[in-house]
Each structure stands twice: as C-alpha cells, then as structure tokens.
C-alpha cells in the first residue's frame, strides 16, 4: 500500500555512505549489510546518524549494474575515508511517496511514482550518461527498524526522487 505521490521541498542534508556497484540479482544481499557498516563506522568516530538509513541510487542499469550508496544522514559534515564517502543530499523539489509493505513491492511503488510524475509532466534531475542516466538524488529511505518490526509486510519506505529545476 502506497500513499498518493506528492511534491515536497527538501533542505540540503549531509550524509555518509558506502558506494557500491551491484547487479539487480545481488542487490538484496550485498547492500543491506553496508548500512550497518556505516552505522558502526559513525559509532567508532563518536558520531551519530541524524535520521533513518537510505539507499541512494546514482546509476540504474538493470542489464548491467547499479551504482548505489548505502547511507545515513548526519547533522553536520563528517569527513569520509577510503571506504566511506561523505556527501550532501541536494536541496530542491522531490517527487515522493510512502510505501507500507514488503521490500519486494518497492519496484511496483517505484513504477507508480515514475508513472505519476510522467502524467504530471515532471522532469527528473538526471544527467545523461554513456550507458544510463546519473540521478542527482533518488532515494529509498527505510523508516522501519527491522529489530523493532520483524514483519516485513509492515515496513515503511519513503521514495524521494529529485526533480529538475
């Protein structure tokens, strides 16, 4: 079950993440542990997250690989290292919807958001690339803590895709 799509304005948000290249087949096994690694990395530095974990989809090439950052927002910029990158989620207008349900349903929720935006005549903030586009900011934010809610059919995920302009 997904909420109705809407447009929201986000402020810039510093974050830290681990960037990886992964096939769609390996997505569910490779990327989730990276969020825990980022939380441990922050803790080892005496820093804390400033919100729930997310996956930032930079490049989506379903036939080859996706470039994803498994990250968490932080209150102020934290210097990265050779494993963890530091960045800023850009300010701007985002098309968003909130989905309640199993992660396997996120592809349908994503399609619903993309279709809605097309119907509205909205344009994404993407840069054309050689093999596929690079998104300025395309997020899946995981609002449910699995240790608090083990029933995946009750998990809440917010999709936020940056719009051009």
The answer to the question of residue 29 being in a domain is yes
Model pTM?
Answer: 0.94
Residues whose CB falls within 8 Å of the CB of residue 158, separated by 6 or more in sequence, listed in order: 96, 97, 98, 99, 139, 140, 141, 143
CATH number at 15 reads: 3.20.80.10
pLDDT category at 61 given cuts 50, 70, 90 is: confident
pLDDT category at 2 given cuts 50, 70, 90 is: confident
pLDDT in tens, 119-157: 999 999 999 887 788 999 999 999 999 889 999 999 999
The answer to the question of residue 135 being in a domain is yes
Q: How far apart are CA 100 and CA 157, in angstroms?
A: 6
The answer to the question of residue 1 being in a domain is no
The angle subtended at Cα 148 by Cα 16 and Cα 138, nearest 5°, is 35
The answer to the question of residue 133 being in a domain is yes
Over residues 107-113, the mean pLDDT reads: 95
Residues spanned by the domain of 33: 6-162
Count structural domains, the chain.
1
């Amino acid at each position: 079950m997904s909420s109705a799509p809407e447009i929201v304005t986000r402020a810039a948000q510093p974050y830290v993440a681990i960037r990886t290249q992964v096939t769609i087949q390996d997505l569910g096994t490779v990327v989730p542990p990276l969020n825990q690694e980022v939380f441990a990395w922050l803790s080892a530095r005496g820093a804390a997250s400033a919100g729930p974990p997310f996956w930032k989809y930079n490049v989506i090439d379903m036939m080859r690989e996706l470039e994803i950052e498994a990250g968490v927002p932080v209150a102020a910029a934290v210097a990265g290292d050779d494993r963890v990158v530091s960045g800023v989620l850009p300010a701007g207008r985002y098309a968003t919807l909130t989905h309640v349900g199993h992660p396997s349903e996120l592809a349908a929720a994503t399609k619903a958001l993309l279709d809605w935006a097309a119907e509205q005549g909205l344009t994404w903030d993407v840069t054309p690339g050689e093999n596929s586009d690079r998104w300025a900011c395309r997020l899946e934010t995981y609002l449910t803590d699995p240790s608090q809610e083990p029933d995946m059919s009750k998990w809440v995920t917010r999709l936020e895709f940056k719009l051009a302009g």
